[in-house]
Amino acid sequence: MPGQSIPDPVTDKLSLIPYVFLSASSSGGESIDEVVLDALCAIRLYLDMEVAFVAEFAGGRRRFRYVDSSLKHPPIAVGDSDPLEQSYCQRIVDGRLPELIHDASALPAAADLVATMAMPVGAHLSVPIRLSNGQIYGTFCCFSTRPDFSLGDRDLAIMHLFADFASRQIGRDLATQRSNREMHQRLASVLESESFTVVYQPIVELSEDRIVGFEALTRFWARPIRSPDVWFSEAAEVGLSEKLEMTAIAKALTGFNHIPDDIYLSINVSPKNILNGAIHRALAGAPLHRIVLEVTEHVPIPDYSQFDQSLAPLREGQGPAKGQRGIRLAVDDAGAGYASFLHILKLKPEIIKLDIGLIRNIDTDITRRSLTAALVGFAQESGSKLIAEGVETAAELDTLKQLHVSVAQGYLLGHPLPISETAALFE
């Protein structure tokens, strides 16, 4: 360990060294930025330096991406940049300066640099950060304003270890950024070309074998071919959730022009696009009394009170449809997990949609029948209506009728259809 005896606070912080390496292999909540900053702090404390940083080489300049310092007024800050050729970093990478410098002012090749006297720079350690493809990203550096002759090969080896650690974290971050750019380009192309359509699956009242509504479902034909939930999930990742959802909803609402006035449309919407007001704008002028909004179990609602307040004007029928009943709310995927039951308790939906996983083989599975029977009782007590999703066999349908589930949808009752075929059902 370099230097003199270490005060207790510094000794305590040396525990960051194993911590930052453990965090690299864990799936904790720390971001890559936080992990790299922890690494910088750990190496700076270990080497008893005043400044540690990660610099990126780009466009002939050195850009400071991460900085950790004990100085009240650090000489560099995140986002600063300077000419690469005038830096220690470039000269260390190409071999004109050694990676370990005990006293920069005593080394002619370092003393010639303006920064050496301006800061001043005393002890300095810098090692390249190489990505997995061999490309040099930049450097991992530490320096102090005073010389330090206690530094040795062991300290330099630890610097290389931390630089390798940082390269893995940065490499992951760059891969994520690249993936996000590709996703954004893919989705922007889908939106520009409208490479998707809306199909309508019948929702049937069982006692009369009568269609009472349709669920509007989005289908994509753009490549790569993936399920709709993957497209919408990627849109949320790259900030295009609102645009994609609202474009799909606008297309779905044109279905009202082709179905009878007593038939409703059920459309899927994420909680985020309810909370941000996007759905309010999308439904301006629409017949709210003929719309059901489905909120899925798979997306969390961060604040139920705020969600309820945001949705209240639409549920109360204010705006263009004032004086009429407003939209109805459905909780989708009930029975798929804990979140759906929490949605039901907090949101008091008019409709509860039983998940396909609960309906599958309900005729032979007593556990599924028991849970469905309990939900039937809950719906009767709370005034909600149950809709069974994913009904595919006559035996499943008969069991649902026995359990007093009165409304259902699924391939047995009707496949999702384009609007032309949907309209033909009523001709």
180 φ/ψ angles, rounded to the nearest 5 degrees: -65, -40
Domains and CATH numbers, the chain: 8-178 (3.30.450.40), 194-424 (3.20.20.450)
Which CA distances in Å does 173 have to 20, 66, 76, 131, 298?
16, 13, 23, 11, 26
Global confidence as pTM: 0.78
**Dihedral sign for Cα atoms in the order 84, 85, 86, 90:** positive
pLDDT one-digit tens code per residue, 42-78: 999 999 999 999 999 999 999 999 999 999 999 999 9
Which residues, in sequence order, are CB contacts of 249 under 8 Å at separation 6+? 216, 267, 269, 279, 282, 283
252: left (phi over 0), alpha (psi -120 to 50) or beta: alpha
Which of 290, 291, 296, 390 lies closest to 347, judged by CA?
296
Sheet arrangement for strand 124-130: 81-83, 61-69, 51-58, 136-143, 124-130, 100-101
Q: Which pLDDT score is estimated for 320?
A: 46
Give the pLDDT confidence score for residue 165 in this predicted structure. Answer: 92
Question: Are β-strands 351-354 and 124-130 bridged in parallel, bridged antiparallel, or unpaired?
Answer: unpaired
Mean pLDDT for all residues in the chain: 90
- For 356-412, the DSSP string reads HHHHTTTTT-HHHHHHHHHHHHHHHHHT-EEEE----SHHHHHHHHHTT--EE-STT
Number of Cβ within a 10 Å radius of residue 278: 19
Provide the terminal-to-terminal Cα distance of the chain, rounded to the nearest Å.
86
* Residue 81: Cβ-neighbour burial (10 angstroms; 0-12, 13-18, 19+): middle
Tokens describing residue 5: 């005896």
Per-10-residue mean pLDDT, the chain, length 427: 43 50 51 89 93 96 96 94 94 96 95 91 97 96 96 94 93 93 96 96 97 97 91 94 97 97 96 95 95 84 92 77 75 77 88 94 96 94 95 98 97 96 92
Distance CA 373, CA 358 (A): 11
